[in-house]
Structure 1
Amino acid sequence: MKTKPLRVGRITIGGKRPVFILGPCVIESEKFVWRM
């Protein structure tokens, strides 16, 4: 799958780095997110 980065203002989303879209009820800690 080919991905293209998306720029939102000064921020670039996607590309080579993973993007997580999660609600606050799912995120327990930064460690938990990276473990997924």
Structure 2
Amino acid sequence: MKVKALKVGNVVIGGKRPAFILGPCVIESEKFVWRM
């Protein structure tokens, strides 16, 4: 698999380091979203 890095401004995402996107697994309600 070929690995690429993505540069956003001064930040490099991916490449040799793994990138993680984290967040809630379930959105229970609109009220819950706005508390986040």
TM-score by length of 2: 0.60
Give the percent of matched residue pairs that are identical in Structure 1 and Structure 2: 64
Q: Which runs of 4+ in 1 moved over 3 A?
A: none
Q: Once superposed, what is the RMSD of the aligned Cα atoms?
A: 1.2
TM-score, normalization: structure 1?
0.60
Q: Which has the higher strand share?
A: 2
For structure 2, the 5+ residue unaligned runs are: 26-36
